[in-house]
A and B are shown apart, each in its own frame.
Chain A
Amino acid sequence: MTDAMEIPATCPVAPRGWPNPLLAEYDQVPAGRPLTQVTMPSGSKAWLVSQHDHIQRLLADDRFSVEPHPTFPIRFPAPQELLDMIARDSKNLLVTMDPPRHTRVRQMALPDFTIKAAEKLRPRVQELIDGYLDRMEAAGGPLDLVQALALPLPAQVICEMAGIPEAERDVFTRNAAIMVGTRHSYTMDEKMAANNELMEYFATLVTEKQKNPTDDMLGNFITRAGRTDEFDHHGLTLMTKMLLLAGYEFIVNRIALGTQTLLDHPDQLKALQADPAGLMPKTVNEVLRHFSIVDEIIARVALADVEIDGVTIKEGEGILVLKGLGDRDPAKYTDPDAFDIHRDSRDHLAFGYGVHQCLGQHVARLMMELCFTSLFTRFPGLHVVESDEPIELVDGLPPVHKLVVGW
């Protein structure tokens, strides 16, 4: 049986119901739809993968590649110059490497991203959160939780992991905020300037750590990489950028969206507060599942013909993985659009699947857990003041939205 269908759609970039002018076609890909082939604005064709089971099977399949390829699915028409630059840079980025190189490089970073490594950060992350909440209390509400906590906290945690001295953190936080901000707040030129300033800073950081090795996540990575000829200096600078910025916007969004959603479900919040040990891990997973839809979609290209449920994805054809729809697949989760901290969402796709599954996930979980616990303990009367602010998705970029709260 062949379920495949061809629709003349341009590529969807975000899910149904979300206010984005580019999104009309997403409605044509309801959750649970079979593989669908689309033509993208760039002219290349790709298969949309939206079922949970298909996503897991294809992302765990070694016959798909993330490396540059003439028919790699590119969603927007881009000038050749930009494509060349991306192809060049991608050779130095973990997220665009295939095994066996991916395996070697991931293992250079892995020891500092284990569950135990993340647990070691717990007291310090708590201390940082307490500091932000002290400042909130002193300033008095209502205020924007994104600016007060969700945006600065991950920046500080990442700086600590990278051993960036306090005096130099401003370069990171200022520019990182611009890079994850929506186009409403910053122009493309401002983003480019922020990127350049960050790259310059990371280059000096790499040099410094090569000269004086440090025992932190970034220092250890640079030391391990230095024992191989895997990267030159520029390569290390690009990897540094990826290790420090890969998940920044994602975690900012999750802290804000998770807080808002828990406030929108007072019964569940009450249950969580009554049994934090039992329900917090589930809550974190459910926030991740429920908001899987806000991220970039994942792309791969087939290196061989791959047969799945009667459909053949031919060698050279791309796939676009709509993990947000996979995480709302009714065949996988009952009443998938409902937020429910009691369900088992451990197998959500928010962190991806397959060998590239998020390296920073335990640090991300830790930040989410401690933010939720601390906020609701410290401010039992926490409530949303401005809730009509729509969650923005600009050109498919994830939202860093405003969340004004009082307490």
Chain B
Amino acid sequence: MSGMRVSVDRDRCIGAGLCVMSAPSVFDQEDDTGLVVLLDDRPAGVDSEHARKIAEHICPSKAIRITGG
């Protein structure tokens, strides 16, 4: 599980902000654009579970990718 890597694709992001709501220590929304900013590309513990759920089921534009873990 420790090998999990998160990446974001800002060209796909539509700024729905749902990632920020579910895992605010992993994702943020940039003030001037509203697009996703990755704060932590190797989340651990409960954040890593959230990140996985967000990537698979919550982010509406499939802008979050999880590798490893």
B8 within 8 Å of A (CB atoms): no
Q: A115, B60: Cβ atoms under 8 Å?
A: no
Q: A111, B33: Cβ atoms under 8 Å?
A: yes
Given A56-B57, A107-B34, A347-B57, A115 contacting B17 (CB threshold 8 A):
yes
Contacting residues, chain B, for A103 (C-beta < 8 A): 14
Q: How large is the interface on B (under 10, 10 to 19, 20 to 34, 35 or more residues)?
A: 20 to 34
**Chain B window 34-49, contacts with chain A (Cβ cutoff 8 Å), 1 for yes, 0 for no:** 1100000000000000
**Chain A window 209-232, contacts with chain B (Cβ cutoff 8 Å), 1 for yes, 0 for no:** 000000000000000000000000
Complex CA gap A347/B62 in Å reads 13
Instruction: Identify which of A103, A107, A347, A358 gathers the most chain B CB atoms within 10 Å of its CB.
Output: A347
B58 within 8 Å of A (CB atoms): yes
What's the minimum C-beta distance from B56 to chain A, rounded to whole angstroms? 9
Complex CA gap A113/B22 in Å reads 17
Q: B31, A357: Cβ atoms under 8 Å?
A: no
Q: How large is the interface on A (under 10, 10 to 19, 20 to 34, 35 or more residues)?
A: 20 to 34
What's the minimum C-beta distance from A85 to chain B, rounded to whole angstroms? 28
Q: A60, B17: Cβ atoms under 8 Å?
A: no
Contacting residues, chain A, for B18 (C-beta < 8 A): 346
Q: B61, A114: Cβ atoms under 8 Å?
A: no
Q: A114, B57: Cβ atoms under 8 Å?
A: no
Pick the residue among B14, B31, B58 that contacts A111 (CB under 8 A).
Answer: B31
Contacting residues, chain A, for B53 (C-beta < 8 A): 346-347
Interface class of chain A by DSSP: helix
Given A60-B61, A60-B62, A346-B22, A114 contacting B31 (CB threshold 8 A):
yes
**Chain B window 17-36, contacts with chain A (Cβ cutoff 8 Å), 1 for yes, 0 for no:** 11011100000010111110
Q: A106, B31: Cβ atoms under 8 Å?
A: no
A308 within 8 Å of B (CB atoms): no
Contacting residues, chain B, for A113 (C-beta < 8 A): 15, 34
Complex CA gap A351/B21 in Å reads 15
Given A107-B33, A107-B34, A346-B22, A114 contacting B17 (CB threshold 8 A):
yes
Complex CA gap A403/B36 in Å reads 39
Complex CA gap A19/B2 in Å reads 53
A390 within 8 Å of B (CB atoms): no
A110 within 8 Å of B (CB atoms): yes
Q: B33, A354: Cβ atoms under 8 Å?
A: no
Q: A365's closest neighbor in chain B, by CB? A: B21
Q: A107's closest neighbor in chain B, by CB? A: B33
Give A351-373 interface residues, CB cut-off 8 Å to B.
351-355, 357-358, 361-362
B16 within 8 Å of A (CB atoms): yes
A336 within 8 Å of B (CB atoms): no
Q: A357, B14: Cβ atoms under 8 Å?
A: yes
Contacting residues, chain B, for A346 (C-beta < 8 A): 18, 21-22, 53, 58
Contacting residues, chain A, for B21 (C-beta < 8 A): 115, 281, 346
Given A281-B21, A355-B14, A114 contacting B29 (CB threshold 8 A):
yes
What's the minimum C-beta distance from A312 to chain B, rounded to whole angstroms? 22
Pick the residue among B34, B58, B60 that contacts A114 (CB under 8 A).
Answer: B34
A101 within 8 Å of B (CB atoms): no
**Chain A window 134-178, contacts with chain B (Cβ cutoff 8 Å), 1 for yes, 0 for no:** 000000000000000000000000000000000000000000000
| Interface residues, chain A, with chain B CB atoms under 8 Å away | 56, 59-60, 103, 106-107, 110-111, 113-117, 281, 346-347, 351-355, 357-358, 361-362
| Interface residues, chain B, with chain A CB atoms under 8 Å away | 14-18, 20-22, 29, 31-35, 53, 57-58, 60-62
Pairs across A and B, CB under 8 Å, 21 listed: A59-B60, A60-B61, A106-B15, A107-B33, A107-B35, A110-B33, A110-B35, A111-B34, A113-B15, A114-B29, A115-B20, A115-B21, A116-B29, A281-B21, A346-B22, A347-B53, A347-B57, A354-B61, A355-B14, A357-B14, A357-B61
